[in-house]
Each structure stands twice: as structure tokens, then as C-alpha cells.
């Protein structure tokens, strides 16, 4: 029996439709370049998505459509209030508080190079740590508390304003808002920490382990994930989803109980991760210039290659997941979540990593209290207009031609429906 030669091609095209996932490279909504000679190193996004701040040799403050609101000063660490109306930054030993419009309200010296800053969601309190110092202020700039500890790695004000969590070279430490110690765990020396929106979940990495503490200091669980060490961390506001980037180029997603949701490739060294409030939108940035976006099931929705490497704390996702921002050394990028619209079947996870539970003590040992130690900003008016959405590139446009080819070949071979 004679077989139409095109029938074989028809079968191949049908197979292509099934096997080739429609993951696409998605271009930014807009790109805002830094000034010539200015290097960017971090980005922060308010929960409501209204304010974007890129930090580095110069601060760049943007609206969600990429319009430049102002640019001045410099800042290597950045945090914003939930509605974006207040911005706290640091440069060297100096902590500064700005309004969204660019007015500097005050600056304070910590006494050593600031490692990190944190602001409460309502902007009523600000905390900073660096060297061996930790300090907090009211929004007015008046001092709230100060203390000394080991070398500070990271600092977070609990969103419910009941404590300040500090990771140091020797311990995980909790202080009250005046920096009187609450509790500590000196069996670890974590580099980063993340807290849920209700303050009940505190997450830290320790090598290839992840630990979850209750806000009271009780260790709830300790899980190990064979593979690389964790170098970036994000925790969804609702407490449902933990995202960890690793130095082996993978990203992990866990639920609140430490169960592995998925493992995925995220480029070389997943330096930065971000997650929406409900965990449905996950973004990663890597040292090999890759931005990738996943859903909570681990499906890769799209990717983009930047001009230069993505550093730590250089990717952020708005609370509702509608806006994703990132910086490399020279540009700020804005992406719309609605641009990542391709629906594909979720691939099988690359591995569950033989999750193992660690030792869970009943309570963490209390710490001994340490003695406490007792104008408009100039900015450029030049705005970068928001660029229109650029059509996405990738395989998707090719795949749209497949159904047409199938129909034509079917007619040629005399195949009828």
C-alpha cells in the first residue's frame, strides 16, 4: 500500500507539539540603564509594587512602569516600607531614611560599615547592623536601642514588630526592639534569614540544610538537601513557600513543613531569589546572567539573559506577583508576570534530595543579656519613559506554525476528519 511521504512529517510535527515545551525567553517591559560608570549591586521592591529602588554606586528610584522618579546618593543595602512610601538605605557606616519623593528625612552613623538594614512594614521602626553593632531607630530618627554582638551577617525586623532577628558569625540571635536579647542558637552561624508576614516562621540556611524556627525561638525542623550550599533565600509573606538558591546552580522550593516542592535548574550559582506573597510566582537570578521565572509547581515559565551577572539581593517580586524586577551591574529590568503566560505540563522534579530531619531540641537556650550602649535631596529630573511590551522571543512563534502545517499536510495526504 502506498504511503504519502508527508505522513511521516505529519507524525513528526504532531510529536513535536506534544514533546516540545512552549517555554519562552521573555523580554522586559522596560530597561533603565544606570549612569555611565555607575555600578548597581542590589534591588528592592515594595510589597504593593509601587516603588522600585536599585542600589549601588547611585540610588535609582522607579515607578512600576519604569519611570525614573529620582536618583542621588548611593546605597549598598536597601529596604522599603510595605507601601513604598519610605526607603531606608546605607552606605559605609551611614543609614539614611528617604521618602518616596526623594526627601532625606535623616541620616545616622552606626559606627561601622553597615551589612544590612530593615524597616517595619508600616515604616515606624528601622534596624541596622554591621561590624559588631546593632541599632534601631524610630521613624523620627530618635534612637530606640543599641547593643554589641559578634560580626553581623544579616538583620530583619519581624513584620509584627515583636523582635529583631540577627544572624552573626557565631549564632542566630533574637533581640527585642530596644536590643535586649531574647533567645539565641549558637550551634550555627547563618548568613541570611527570612521571616513570614505573621512573624511566626523564621527560616535560615546552614550549608545544605534549611532550619525553621517558631518566633518564640523553638526549632521546628531541620532538613538537609544533598547538593550545593544555600546562598540565597526568600520566604513568602503568607508563610507557605520557602525558596533557596544554591551554589550548584539549583533552586529549591519547600512548603512550611519543610517538604520539598521541587528542585530546578537556575543557571550557575543562584545568587538571588524572590517570591510572591502566596508563593505562586518565583524568580531567580544567577551569576551567569540568567533570570528565570517559575510557578509553585516548578514549571519554568520563561527566562531572560541580562548583560552582566546577577548578584545577591538583585531580584525581587511584588506581593501579588504581577511585577518582577532585577538588576545586573548596569541596568534595572522590569518584567510583567502576565507576560509569562505559556501553560505547559509540569516536569518531574529533578530529585527529592533524600530529605532528612535533623535534631529538634525542645527549646533554644536563653541568652545572657548584654549591657546596652547607651534637607531636600538633590536628584535628577530626567525620566526614562516606560517602553512598550516587547514581543517575546523563543520557540513559541515557531510552534504556532505547527497546527497550520499539520492541516496542510493532512489535506495533501487525503486525511479527513
- What is the structure's pLDDT at 346? 41
Residue 417 neighbours by CB under 8 Å, 6+ apart: none
- What is the structure's pLDDT at 225? 96
Supply angle C-alpha 199, 202, 203, rounded to 5.
145
Distance of CA 170 to the CA centre of its chain: 25
Q: pTM above the 0.95 mark?
A: no
| Longest Cα separation, the chain | 96
With contact defined as beta carbons under 8 Å apart, do 72 and 58 qualify?
yes
Distance CA 350, CA 4 (A): 41
User: Where do the domains of the chain lie?
Assistant: 1-20+395-417, 28-387
Which positions of the chain have pLDDT values less than 50? Answer: 1-3, 5, 9-10, 12-23, 343-410, 415-417
CB atoms inside a 10 Å sphere around CB 400: 10
For residue 5, the SS3 value is helix
> Nearest CA to 127 among 160, 154, 151?
154
> Nearest CA to 332 among 40, 89, 47, 49?
40
Question: Domain spanning 28-387: which superfamily?
Answer: YVTN repeat-like/Quinoprotein amine dehydrogenase (2.130.10.10)
With contact defined as beta carbons under 8 Å apart, do 116 and 155 qualify?
yes
CA distances from 207 to 212, 223, 229 (A): 14, 11, 5
With contact defined as beta carbons under 8 Å apart, do 146 and 130 qualify?
no
Amino acid at each position: 500500500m502506498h504511503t504519502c511521504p508527508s505522513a511521516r512529517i505529519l507524525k513528526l510535527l504532531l510529536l513535536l507539539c506534544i514533546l516540545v515545551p512552549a517555554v519562552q525567553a521573555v523580554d522586559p517591559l522596560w530597561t533603565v540603564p544606570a549612569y555611565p560608570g555607575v555600578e548597581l549591586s542590589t534591588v528592592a521592591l515594595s510589597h504593593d509594587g509601587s516603588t522600585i529602588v536599585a542600589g549601588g554606586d547611585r540610588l535609582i528610584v522607579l515607578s512600576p512602569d519604569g519611570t525614573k522618579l529620582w536618583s542621588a546618593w548611593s546605597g549598598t543595602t536597601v529596604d522599603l516600607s510595605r507601601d513604598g512610601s519610605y526607603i531606608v538605605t546605607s552606605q559605609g557606616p551611614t543609614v539614611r531614611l528617604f521618602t518616596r519623593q526623594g526627601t532625606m528625612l535623616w541620616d545616622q552613623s552606626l559606627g561601622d560599615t553597615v551589612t544590612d538594614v530593615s524597616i517595619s512594614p508600616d515604616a515606624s521602626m528601622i534596624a541596622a547592623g554591621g561590624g559588631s553593632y546593632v541599632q534601631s531607630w524610630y521613624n523620627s530618627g530618635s534612637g530606640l536601642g543599641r547593643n554589641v554582638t559578634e560580626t553581623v551577617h544579616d538583620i530583619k525586623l519581624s513584620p509584627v514588630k515583636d523582635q529583631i532577628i540577627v544572624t552573626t558569625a557565631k549564632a542566630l540571635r533574637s533581640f527585642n526592639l530596644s536590643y535586649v536579647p531574647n533567645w539565641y542558637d549558637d550551634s550555627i552561624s547563618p548568613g541570611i534569614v527570612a521571616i513570614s508576614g505573621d512573624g511566626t516562621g523564621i527560616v535560615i540556611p546552614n550549608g545544605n540544610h534549611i532550619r525553621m524556627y517558631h518566633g518564640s525561638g523553638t526549632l521546628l525542623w531541620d532538613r538537609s538537601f544533598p547538593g550545593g550550599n544555600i546562598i540565597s533565600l526568600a520566604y513568602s509573606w503568607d508563610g507557605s513557600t520557602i525558596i533557596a538558591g544554591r551554589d550548584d546552580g539549583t533552586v529549591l522550593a519547600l512548603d512550611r513543613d519543610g517538604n520539598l516542592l521541587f528542585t530546578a535548574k537556575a543557571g550557575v550559582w543562584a545568587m538571588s531569589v524572590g517570591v510572591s506573597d502566596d508563593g505562586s510566582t518565583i524568580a531567580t537570578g544567577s551569576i551567569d546572567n540568567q533570570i528565570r521565572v517559575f510557578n509553585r509547581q516548578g514549571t519554568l515559565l520563561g527566562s531572560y539573559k541580562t548583560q552582566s551577572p546577577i548578584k545577591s539581593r538583585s531580584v525581587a517580586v511584588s506581593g501579588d506577583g504581577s511585577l518582577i524586577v532585577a538588576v545586573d551591574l548596569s541596568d534595572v529590568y522590569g518584567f510583567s508576570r502576565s507576560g509569562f503566560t505559556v501553560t505547559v505540563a509540569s516536569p518531574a522534579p529533578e530529585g527529592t534530595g533524600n530529605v532528612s530531619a535533623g535534631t529538634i531540641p525542645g527549646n533554644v537556650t536563653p541568652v545572657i543579656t548584654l549591657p546596652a550602649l547607651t534637607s531636600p535631596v538633590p536628584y535628577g529630573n530626567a525620566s526614562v519613559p516606560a517602553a512598550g511590551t516587547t514581543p517575546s522571543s523563543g520557540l513559541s512563534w515557531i510552534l504556532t506554525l505547527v497546527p497550520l502545517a499539520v492541516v496542510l499536510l493532512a489535506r495533501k495526504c487525503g486525511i479527513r476528519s
